[in-house]
Structure 1
Amino acid sequence: MNIEGSYNLYIVALSVVIAVLASYSALNIVTKISLAKGKTRFFWLLAGSLVMGNGIWSMHFVGMLAYHTHMTVHYDIWFTLGSLLASVIASFIAFYITMPRNTNWYKIAGGGFIIGSGIVTMHYMGMEAMIIPNAIYYDPVLLVLSIIIALVASYLALLLFLHFQSESKTSWVKWLSAALMGIAICGMHYTAMEAVKLQHPAAAKAMAPTPAGQELFLLLCVMIVIFIILLVSWGALIFERHVLEKLAYLDSVTGLPNRNEMNRFFDSHVGTEKIGVLFLDLDQFKAINDTLGHNIGDLLIQEVGIRLRQFIREDQQAFRIGGDEFLFIIKQCNTARAEQLAHKILYSIKQVYYIEGNELYVTGSIGISIGSIQDSNRSVLLKTADTAMYRAKGLGKNQICFYSEEMGLQLVRKMELEKDLQLALENNQFFIMYQPKWNVKTNSLVGFEALIRWQHPRLGLVAPGEFIQIAEGTGLIVPMTKWALEQACRQCKEWQSQGLQQPVSVNLSVRLFQNDSLQELVQNVLDKFELAPHLLELEITESMVLYDINDIIRQLQGLRELGVRVSMDDFGTGYSSIGLLDRLPIDALKLDRLFTNDLENPSKRAVINAIIMMANNLQLDIIAEGVENQEHIDLLARLGCYVMQGYYYGEPMREAEIHEWVRTNEHNMSVV
């Protein structure tokens, strides 16, 4: 005798809801897997598998509660637990296979097959867990159909979800995928239940209803499993918000809030409140990082972070925004408060660091910008503070600097010059001016210095002090110097053909030494204009000593072997090169105008006298720059310096003005 069961529709509806919600929770968690790394990836994989497996199992047994057969039913505990384990393992394997972001279709098919098989296995193991006085048979057609439903719906759910998981707005896709997965679970379950045929050898009268205690026990088990689902889902949410968020918004080296947290602060503080932004950059960090290694550099950054923590308050916060850059944001800020904090930070930063046997000293430069986020967006406050920080570095480092409107105008001008510099070279906006050098002892002209100038089409004549530094930073100084060298040699050759036998000097950037082709370049220019090497002088600066000094010496020796002269420009103003003078293959020292302008000072004259005596002992010529009056000439001559350059003898002139100047001064000189 076949026995037909009946369904409680309310519990059926509950089972469907459980299946869809569990599927949605599981698939939502699984999206984290492809974005996670390391141990967190395994966490999301396990969490998704537990939610999915428990959801499938819960739906099955809630569905069993909905099915009434009017007979006594017991459940085998081991088969019941086995069915739960089967669904969890199948979910784990399926999610693992489809974990990579670029999953192939056959991997999705494999994942769908495994999770569908898990649903089928769980169901029929659950059926085997039933202990009833009846024999259970299955309609083969409906049994196969239930398996097909589970496999196909599982595949479609994974395919749809994984295809759209990287999209920004996929809530409806997730729900649709969850609904398909729910259909896979519920469709398989209720189709399989329809396939069940219960036969009792005795009369139907012998049947007894399932005891209420059995249903209560099963319901209690289902409630426990649903509680596990909620616990895992909430646990995953808490983990994401508190653990992963900590990783996303805190710097791993210092433990300070990072750039993401800084952006979140700005997003939440739009208003009229005055906010101070202090942009801190370490001054000597790159040298330490390069010489002692990144490990020591990280430890130094860590120590700096510890020192900065002491200045964190409820209304002021420190951030590490990258490399050796830090940021302080102060609420309700004014100039006095920002300046006071900046000085305290600099004092703390410059104290000695003891790191793995190294005694390290660093300083910091701080730029300060004050304003409200309503008046300007965050990028303006950050950019202005950054601009002020670079000005602080330019003031000598270990300094603070407030942003000003004047600074902003200078920044705009600098950016415009940088943008136009490349076009200037292409459009022939540069030209050369020549300033004479005079020997007062022989009363003779001894050469010219070639000086590059820029005639900007809109801004007019741009001072070299503005664009040379920009050209150095962008690398355009290399083609500019090559152009200036060619122009100077061409002009010198032209003077020579006109009877004016005077050498010309050209300033060299250290960047020309870096590609190791300077000697070849100079040789090619000399050959191009058929200019005698002794008519060319190349001027270098003291900053050369900061680079590979042995390589600099080698290249300078190569230049002198060509027959050109080499002089050191602006001697005594930048870097101490006195200890290298006996090694550097140079012919002359040029005293900066800093010395000439202060000749009235006895101590300054004593320094000049010492330099001249040293140069004489090293058989180096001395040239004084910035000579502007007869008093300068007399004092320098008494000290032993006879070659001079300055406005007293002639301002920088265009090539067309040189012959007029020579004719005007012919009666005062003997040209040699």
Structure 2
Amino acid sequence: MTDASLLRRPLSVPVVSSVLAALLVSVGLTGLLPPPAAVALAGVGGCAPVVGRLLRLAAVDGRDRRSRLCRRAAALLVAAVTVAALTVAVPPLVPAGWRVGVAVAGLGAATATFAAGLLLLPGHSRSTPRARLRRGVDVLGLGTALLFAGWVLVPSGPVPPVVRVVTVLGATGLAGLLVSALADRRRRPGAARCRVGAATVLLGLAGLVALEAYRAPAVTLLTLVPVLVGGALLTAAGMTRVAAGDPPGPAGPPPAWPRVTAPAAVASVAAAGHLAVVGGFSATAVLLGLAVIPPLVGRELISAADDRRWAGRLAAREAYFRTLVSGGRDLILVLDDRLRVHWLSAAGERWFGLRRSEVCGLALADLLHPDDAPGVLTRLAAPPQDDGPPLLVARMRAGDGAWREIESTVSDQRDVPEVAAVVLHVRDVGDRRRLERELRRVAAADPLTGLANRQELLRVLGERAGPPGALLVVDVHGCPPAQDAAGPGVDGDALTVTTARRLRDVVGPRDLVSRLSGTEFAVVTDAASVPAYALGERLLAALTEPWPVPTGMARLRVAVGLAELTGGDPQDVLRQADLARRRAVQLGRNRVEWYDACLEEQLVRRMDLERELPGAAARGELDLVYQPVLALVDRRPAGIEALLRWRSPVLGTVLPAELLPVAEDLGLLGELGRWVLDRACRQLADWSYGGRELWLAVNLTLAELLAPDLVPRVATVLAGHGVPAERLVLEIAEPGLGADLSMVVARLAGLRAMGVRTALDSFRAEHASLTRLRRLPIDLLKVQPQPVGPDEGTRPLIDVVVGLGERLGVTVVMAELESEPDVDRATRAGCRYGQGFALARPATAERVEAYFAEFPSAFR
């Protein structure tokens, strides 16, 4: 059975007991039933539900010590209530001479069982000697007063001895029970109810003894029924609460029952009643009245000693806390209901310069900064929150008139009668706040330039809630760590500081300039997209101005990426601007690029290529396809061009136009070139075993051509595969020759000297190209289709190129022939060889092998 069920079940017991007792008393008063019989039935009937309830409590199972004590106490209380009910019920059944004896025996038995049951109630605590002395004096005082009252209020005439004995013993027991109940009414309310109930039942039995001794009319016995039943109900209610754990009563001030005034009042009322009815006092009565005085005086002396002791403790505690308060740096302000300063601690004058005589009586708002006072007063007026006392941050006026930055914790004690005030604990946090601001400034700034750093930039972007703006990421090539590009003798830090100054000079006053890394800066502007692009152009112009250095003038190369601010994730906006910046770098710098989705796709593709390309040759992902070069007269193969393909399992097939720029940026051109040359020469050797006299063309980039080890490497590969040098043709694209023509001529001459033939690819019929053609030591000239137009008006131009080639001893190959008309025009112009989809498509080595099988022999 749970504690909650124990507290809920007995709700019907008082109703049943009270209704049954009231009904039987009414029957006795009306004469429908003899009063003695009505008293007997009312006592037994009113106590029967109580006995049943106590029996259920005595049967509750429990193995701990408290449960065992509760069962034993409930059993004894069952016996006590049963004895009390039988004491009321038996006298009408016995002769008149025995009734007093029966009542006395029942009173004694009930007293003994009640005492035993109350002593077994759990929850007793060991009292100090001083507490036991106070309780003993209280019992003595109240018992003496009750004894005096019982002595003088008995009817006049001879008093039966048994009444005197019951009066003396009953007063003492009743006083003890009441004093104990009042002392424990908050700590052990269930036990206190049990004591009050027992005292009430015993008081009713004592009244029964007195009425039987004086042979009072039978109807007067009906007055005892409410006392007996009420006491039994209180006993059951208290025992129920004890069995449920005896939860303490509500918190509050300690009980202050009138320990002195109650005995005095009882004695005074009894004396006044005696004087009014009888008149004089007997000597015994006078002695009993005087006996009331010593316990009262003793209780007063004990109270005075307690007061002195508590006063000493309070004084020591007050001195202790005064020492703590006066020695601290925190200012304590006590405010009244109108939030006026009632008291302030010594720290007010010591640390804040506030004199108590000048501050007390002032409103709190008069001490606070005008901008902070409304918010503080609103917080103080708000209802208390569950998350603890509020923390008020404000500026407070000090004694010298300066404003101090403060934090205050609030303790609202207006509901506490002893305080009835609002207590503020104020601390000066000015130094801490200044240090925090300085730390934030240092943490948010670049130490070299003083610009905002990346974290501050992201914070500003994340807190932006105003109109849309733009973010510009500026990449400066020439600052450290790439300062070598600016030339020797350049102070990298000075160059970075100058770059930051130029950025600040160009941007607006509300724009934020930050340094992302050693060579990257960023600008956040409120301008719209078009003005932001114009700002990027101005930044570009300012940063590309020459920078004077000891050895001359340093020039920076700048790339600017622009992305619009749409209120999204700051990291995403920064990524978009950085993608635009990377595009500007790829396009040669000194330009402003705008972010769009297509650009992101291209850059993502570029990043995928850069990630997957390293190690592609080792993983076997590179492949060669071969496109035959045919003689235009008889359409028979004369040569083959090897074309590189990257078969990436992630990106698919990647062509050289997309592959080679990435390889150049990653420094992989040499590795790819060596692989292509080795694989092409191996395949050429395989085809040569079949008796085919074909030449094989391999494309070179300018970087590969100018590599110092090109000539010996080519010789090594040719010798390793047993391929004659004249069967290999190395092609260089004419647009990639650049300005260093002399180095190109020297390297081509070195290749021709060892027997390797050379070719110029993508030749354009322009004046510069024709002039350059005279200097280049080449064997083949591959002309792109641009000189060949759809009409016959372009034929003289083709004739000029072919004729010039014949005069220079250069074989002309017309490339990219996509249709039969293109082939016819090239043939009429006198070209010997052609290459293109109209003649043969690029294919794998196996398919080219099958294609060669259609011809009995190959032409050189």
Superposition TM-score, scaled by structure 2 size = 0.43
Structure 1 residues 303 and 601: alpha-carbon distance in aligned structure 2, compared to 1, 3 A threshold:
farther
1:649 paired with 2:839, answer: yes
> Counterparts of 1:464 and 1:551 in 2: how far apart (Å)?
25
Task: Return the offset for 1:242.
Answer: 8.3
Contact 2:695–2:729 (8 Å) recurs in 1: yes
Alignment partner of 1:619 is 2:809 = yes
Asked if 1:494 is matched to 2:689, the reply is: no
Q: How far apart are the structure 2 equivalents of 1:526 and 1:459?
A: 33
Task: Decide which of 603, 619, 622 is 1:427's aligned counterpart.
Answer: 619
Equivalent position of 2:569 in the other structure: 376
Which of 637, 640, 661 is matched with 2:851 structurally? Answer: 661
On the 8 A contact 2:626/2:641 being kept in 1, the answer is yes
Residue 430 of structure 1: how far off its partner (Å): 1.8
Deviation at 1:496, TM superposition (A): 1.7
CA distance in 1, matches of 2:652, 2:633: 39
Q: Deviations over 1:611-669 (max 9, x none)?
A: 55655554333333221113323444555544322111111011111133335577xx9
Q: Which residue of 1 aligns with 2:578?
A: 386
Contact 2:487 2:554 in 1 (8 A): no
Deviation at 1:483, TM superposition (A): 1.9
Moved more, 564-573 or 426-435: 564-573
Contact 1:299 1:355 (C-alpha < 8 Å) held by counterparts:
no
Count, aligned residues:
439
Larger Rg: 2
Q: Give the secondary-structure state (helix, strand or coil) at the position aligned to 2:506.
A: coil
Structure 2 gap ranges (5+) = 1-323, 329-430
Residue 617 of structure 2 aligns to a residue whose secondary structure is helix
Report the secondary structure of 1:387's partner residue: helix
Q: Does 1:671 align with 2:853?
A: no
User: Paired residue for 1:257, among 438, 443, 451?
Assistant: 451
Q: 2:473 aligns with which of 279, 287, 295?
A: 279
Measure, in 2, the Cα distance between the counterparts of 1:427 and 1:411: 24
Deviation per CA, 1:58-90, whole angstroms, max 9, x where unpaired? xxxxxxxxxxxxxxxxxxxxxxxxxxxxxxxxx
Contact 1:492/1:504 (<8 A) preserved: yes
Task: Tell me which residue corresponds to 1:338.
Answer: 532
| CA–CA distance in structure 1, aligned partners of residues 507 and 740 of structure 2 | 43
Give the counterpart of 1:534 among 726, 740, 752.
726
The 8 Å contact of residues 316 and 330 in structure 1, kept in 2 or not, is answered as yes
CA distance, structure 1, for counterparts of residue 830 and residue 470 of structure 2: 56
CA shift for structure 1 position 468: 2.4
* TM superposition shift of 1:372: 5.7
Deviation per CA, 1:409-432: give whole Å up to 9, x if none: 333333333333234322322221
Q: Compared with structure 1, are the counterparts of its residues 372 and 569 closer, same or farther at alpha carbon in structure 2 (3 Å cutoff)?
A: same
1:518 is displaced (CA, Å) by: 1.8
> Aligned pair in 2 of structure 1 residues 551, 497: CA closer, same or farther (>3 Å)?
same
Single out whichever of 267-276 and 570-579 deviates more from structure 2.
570-579
What's the counterpart of residue 559 of structure 1? 751
Where does structure 1 lack aligned partners over 5 or more consecutive residues?
Answer: 1-12, 18-233
Residues 475, 559 of structure 2: 8 Å contact kept = yes
Report the more deviating stretch, 645-654 or 318-327.
318-327
1:632 aligns with 2:825: no
How does the TM-score come out when normalised to structure 1? Answer: 0.53
Letter in 1 for 2:524: I
CA 1:531 to 1:381, structure 2 compared with 1: closer, same or farther past 3 Å? same
| 8 Å Cα contact 2:816/2:836 also seen in 1 | yes
Distance 2:841 2:613 in 1: 25
Distance 1:575 1:314 in 2: 53
Query: How far off its partner does 1:305 sit?
Result: 5.7
CA distance in 1, matches of 2:765, 2:447: 41
Aligned to 1:10: none
Match of 2:711 in 1: 519
Question: Aligned in 2, Cα 1:263/1:411: closer, same or farther, shift over 3 Å?
Answer: same
Bigger mean CA deviation after superposition, 474-483 or 303-312:
303-312
State the AA in 2 paired with 1:280. V
Q: CA–CA distance in 2 between the matches of 1:351 and 1:614?
A: 46
Task: Go from structure 1 to structure 2 and tell me whether the alpha carbon gap of 1:658 and 1:540 turns closer, same or farther (over 3 Å shift).
Answer: same
Matched, 1:447 2:639: yes
CA contact (8 A) 2:583 2:603 kept: no
Alpha carbons 2:706, 2:743 under 8 Å: kept: no
Q: Which has the higher contact order (CA 8 A, sep 6+)?
A: 1
The correspondence of residues 460-479 of structure 1 with structure 2, limited to 5 A, is: 460-479=652-671
1:395, CA displacement in angstroms?
4.9
Change (3 A) 1:486 1:357: closer
Partner of 1:87: none
Tell me what 1:418 maps to. 610
Name the structure 2 match of 1:205: none
Q: In the TM superposition, what whole-angstrom CA distance separates every residue of 1:470-518 from its partner, at most 9, and x where no partner exists? A: 2222233322222221221122122222232111111123444565222
Alpha-carbon distance between aligned partners in 2 of 1:385 and 1:575, rounded to the nearest angstrom: 42
Name which of 455, 480, 484 aligns with 2:672. Answer: 480
1-side partners of 2:792 and 2:576: how far apart?
A: 41
Cα distance in 1 for residues equivalent to 2:766 and 2:663 = 19
1:587 maps onto 2:779 in alignment: yes
Q: 2: distance between equivalents of 1:541 and 1:298?
A: 42
- 1:311 equivalent to 2:499? Answer no
Tell me, yes or no, if the aligned pair for 1:573 and 1:592 is still in contact at 8 Å.
Answer: no
Q: Which residue of 1 aligns with 2:155?
A: none
Looking at structure 2, the residues matched to 400 and 359 of structure 1 have their Cα atoms a distance apart, in angstroms, of 24
Distance of aligned partners of 1:543 and 1:648 in 2 relative to their CA distance in 1, 3 Å threshold: closer
* Maintained 8 Å contact 1:270/1:372: no
Q: Tell me, yes or no, if the aligned pair for 2:444 and 2:456 is still in contact at 8 Å.
A: no
Identify which range, 402-411 or 516-525, moves more after superposition. Answer: 402-411
Q: Go from structure 1 to structure 2 and tell me whether the alpha carbon gap of 1:634 and 1:270 turns closer, same or farther (over 3 Å shift).
A: same
Residues 515 and 630 of structure 1: is their aligned pair in 2 closer, same or farther, counting only changes over 3 Å? closer
Q: Call closer, same or farther: CA 1:349–1:643 in 2, change over 3 Å.
A: farther
**Which deviates more, 417-426 or 443-452?**
417-426
Deviates more, 1:577-586 or 1:435-444: 577-586
Contact 2:451 2:500 in 1 (8 A): no
Task: Give the 5 Å matches for 1:71-220.
Answer: none
Distance between the aligned counterparts of 1:601 and 1:368, measured in 2? 49
Separation of aligned partners in 2, 1:644 and 1:299: 59
Given the superposition, is the C-alpha separation of residues 285 and 567 from structure 1 closer, same or farther in structure 2, using an over 3 Å criterion?
A: farther
Letter in 2 for 1:492: L
Q: Does structure 2 conserve the Cα–Cα contact (< 8 Å) formed by 1:433 and 1:652?
A: yes
2:348 match: none
CA positional deviation for 1:302: 7.4
> Structure 1 pair 384/438, CA: closer, same or farther in 2 (3 Å)?
same
Secondary structure of residue in 1 paired with 2:463:
coil
Q: Describe the SS at the equivalent of 1:295.
A: coil
Deviations along 1:3-27, whole A, 9 cap, x unmatched? xxxxxxxxxx9xxx9xxxxxxxxxx
Work out whether residues 441 and 642 of structure 1, in 8 Å CA contact, stay in contact via their aligned partners in 2.
yes
